[in-house]
C-alpha cells in the first residue's frame, strides 16, 4: 500500500479511521486491511441536499401506510409499511427472514402493488423456486439478483411501491474499496437505500445478519440510519418465530408478532398462550402459572421449578427464561423473609416453551413454584399468580393487571393471586386472592 502524506486510511474489517497507514489495524488487529479513504465519496448526499422552506406542521400531509398482507407483520410495524421509510429486519441465518419478506411481497403484489425484491445471496432461479413454493408468484412481483447496489437500484426501484434488499451485507457500492459486508460497504448500501426511500417516497426493507455475539452485524450507524429495526428470532429446532421491534419511529417498540414455520411458509399464530401452556389438568409440585405481556398481547406462562439436595458446598442455581440475577434475588427473599432453607439444595427454574420473561411481574409465580418444589406440595389448582416481590417480602402490583386476569379467565383459570394494593377492576367469575406479603401468599396456597 503506497503511503500518501495527509491521507486517511480506513480498515475494511471494522471501519476504523487512521491518520497513517500501518500493516495492522490498531482497532481490530486485522493485517493488510487499511485502505485509502476516498474523500470524494459521500459528497453527494442525495435527498438531504434538497432544501425546503419551513412550513406549518398542520399543512404537511401524513405519510400513508401500505399493508404488508401479513397481519402479524403489520402489528409490529404499527399498521404497515410507511411511505419513505427504511426498515431493517435482522435475524440469525435460516430463521426465516427471506421467507417472511418474500411472502409479504407476494401478498402485496397480489393486491395490485408493484414490488421489487433484490437478492444479493441467491440467483434468480433460486428466488423464483422459493416464490413458487410460498405461492408468491405474481406479475407485479419483480425479482433481481446481483451485488452492485447502484445498478440494481437504477431501474425499477424508483417506480416500485416497495423495495426489498436481501441482504445489506451481501451488496456493495462500486465506488468503494472492500468486500461486501465490510463496515464501509454496509454504510454505503444503507445510504443508497435511504436516498431511494426519502427521495422517491418508496418504503425500503433491508435484511441484516446477526453475528455470533447476537448483535446486528455491521456498524452501529446502520441502526441509526433506518427508521425501524425488527428482530426475527426463534430456535431453529422449533417451528415458532417471534418478530419484535427494537426501534420504530412510526409505531410501538414493544409489540410482537408470532409465526409458525410450515412447509408453505410462515403462518400467524392465532392464540399465543396455547404455545407456552401445557394445559396440565392435575396439580403438580413446582408448577406455577402467570400472565406476561409482549406489547399489548398477554401470554399465559408456565413457570416450573425443581429442587434436589446436593452434597457440595456450592449448590447450583439455574434459571432459563428469566433475567440474569432474578432467580438469586427471589431465592434470597424466600430464605430470609419466609424461612425456606435452600442452602443445601440445587434449584432449577424454567419457563415452559422457551418463553423469556422480562420484568418483575412473574416474581410471585417464580417464588411460589420454588416453594412448591421444596415442600413437594402442589399449588392451588386453576390459579394464576401475578405480582412483583420486593426485598422486604412484600407483594407489589404490576401494570395492566386487569388485562392479564381477563386472559387467565379466557383460558379457564378460576383463581388469581395478586397484590392487595391492586386498584383495577377484574372480570366476574374469578376468585381473587389478595395478599400483602410473600409469606401470606404461601399460606393461601397451602405451603
Q: DSSP labels for 57-112? A: GGGSPPPPEE--S-HHHHHHHTSSEETT-EEEEEE-TTSSHHHHHHHHHHHHHHTT
DSSP classification of residue 256: E
Q: pLDDT per residue over 33-60, tens digit each?
A: 787 776 544 444 455 555 567 889 888 8
Q: CA 267 to CA 136: how far, in whole Å?
A: 14
- Amino acid 281: pLDDT: 60
Query: Which class for 160: exposed (0-12), middle (13-18), buried (19 or more C-beta within 10 A)?
Result: buried
Q: pLDDT per residue over 225-234, tens digit each?
A: 999 999 998 8
Per-residue b or e along 62-97, where b marks 16 or more CB atoms closer than 10 Å to that residue's CB? eeebbbbbbebbbbbbbebbbbbbbbbbbbbeebbb
Report whether the peptide linkage leading into residue 167 is cis, meaning its omega lies within 30 degrees of zero.
yes
- Amino acid 1: pLDDT: 47
Would you kindly state where each structural domain of the chain is located, as residue ranges?
A: 1-39, 64-270, 275-444
CATH top class, domain 64-270: alpha beta
- Amino acid 146: pLDDT: 93
Write down the residue that cell numbers 411481574 correspond to. 361
- Cβ contacts of 339 within 8 Å, gap of 6 or more: none
Integer CA distances (angstroms), 2 to 9, 10, 16, 37, 410, in order:
11, 14, 18, 13, 72
Mean pLDDT of 163-189: 87
- Amino acid 41: pLDDT: 46
Average pLDDT, the chain: 88
Q: Which of 42-56, 251-265, 325-339 reaches the highest mean pLDDT?
A: 325-339
**Contact yes or no for 442/364 (Cβ under 8 A):** no
Return the SS3 of 227.
coil
- Amino acid 42: pLDDT: 46
CATH of domain 1-39: 2.20.28
**Contact yes or no for 119/105 (Cβ under 8 A):** no
- Amino acid 19: pLDDT: 84
The answer regarding whether domain 275-444 maps to CATH 3.40.50.620 reads no
Amino acid at each position: 500500500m503506497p503511503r500518501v502524506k495527509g491521507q486517511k486510511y480506513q480498515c475494511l474489517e471494522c471501519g476504523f479511521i487512521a491518520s497513517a497507514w500501518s500493516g495492522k489495524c490498531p482497532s481490530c488487529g486485522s493485517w493488510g486491511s487499511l485502505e485509502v479513504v476516498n474523500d470524494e465519496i459521500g459528497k453527494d448526499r442525495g435527498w438531504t441536499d434538497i432544501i425546503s422552506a419551513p412550513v406549518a406542521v398542520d399543512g404537511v400531509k401524513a405519510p400513508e401506510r401500505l399493508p404488508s398482507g401479513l397481519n402479524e407483520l403489520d402489528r409490529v410495524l404499527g399498521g404497515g409499511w410507511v411511505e419513505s421509510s427504511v426498515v431493517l429486519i435482522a435475524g440469525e441465518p435460516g430463521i426465516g427472514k427471506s421467507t417472511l419478506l418474500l411472502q409479504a411481497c407476494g401478498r402485496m403484489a397480489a393486491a395490485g402493488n408493484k414490488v421489487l425484491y433484490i437478492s444479493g445471496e441467491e440467483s434468480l432461479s433460486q428466488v423464483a423456486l422459493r416464490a413458487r413454493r410460498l405461492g408468491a408468484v405474481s406479475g407485479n412481483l419483480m425479482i433481481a439478483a446481483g451485488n452492485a447496489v447502484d445498478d440494481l437500484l437504477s431501474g425499477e426501484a424508483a417506480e416500485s411501491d416497495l423495495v426489498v434488499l436481501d441482504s445489506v451485507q451481501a451488496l456493495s457500492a462500486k465506488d468503494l474499496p472492500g468486500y461486501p459486508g465490510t463496515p464501509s460497504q454496509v454504510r454505503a448500501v444503507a445510504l443508497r437505500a435511504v436516498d431511494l426511500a426519502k427521495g422517491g417516497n418508496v418504503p425500503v426493507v433491508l435484511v441484516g445478519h446477526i453475528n455470533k455475539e447476537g448483535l446486528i452485524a455491521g456498524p452501529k450507524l446502520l441502526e441509526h440510519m433506518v427508521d425501524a429495526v425488527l428482530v426475527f428470532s426463534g430456535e431453529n429446532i422449533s417451528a415458532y418465530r417471534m418478530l419484535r421491534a427494537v426501534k420504530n419511529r412510526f409505531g410501538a417498540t414493544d409489540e410482537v408478532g408470532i409465526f409458525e414455520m410450515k412447509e408453505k411458509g410462515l403462518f400467524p399464530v392465532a392464540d399465543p398462550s396455547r404455545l407456552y401452556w401445557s394445559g396440565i389438568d392435575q396439580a403438580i409440585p413446582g408448577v406455577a402459572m402467570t400472565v406476561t405481556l409482549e406489547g399489548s398481547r398477554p401470554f399465559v406462562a408456565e413457570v416450573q421449578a425443581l429442587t434436589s439436595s446436593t452434597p457440595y458446598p456450592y449448590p447450583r442455581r439455574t434459571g432459563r427464561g428469566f433475567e440474569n440475577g432474578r432467580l438469586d434475588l427471589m431465592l434470597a427473599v424466600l430464605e430470609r423473609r419466609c424461612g425456606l432453607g435452600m442452602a443445601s439444595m440445587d434449584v432449577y427454574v424454567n419457563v415452559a416453551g422457551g418463553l423469556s420473561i422480562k420484568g418483575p411481574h412473574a416474581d410471585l409465580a417464580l417464588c411460589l413454584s420454588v416453594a412448591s418444589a421444596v415442600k413437594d406440595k402442589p399449588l392451588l389448582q386453576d390459579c394464576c399468580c401475578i405480582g412483583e416481590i420486593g426485598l422486604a417480602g412484600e407483594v407489589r402490583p404490576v401494570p395492566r393487571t386487569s388485562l392479564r386476569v381477563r386472559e387467565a379467565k379466557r383460558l379457564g383459570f378460576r383463581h388469581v393471586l395478586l397484590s392487595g394494593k391492586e386498584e383495577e377492576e377484574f372480570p366476574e367469575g374469578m376468585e381473587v386472592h389478595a395478599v400483602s406479603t410473600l409469606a401470606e401468599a404461601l399460606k393461601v396456597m397451602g405451603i
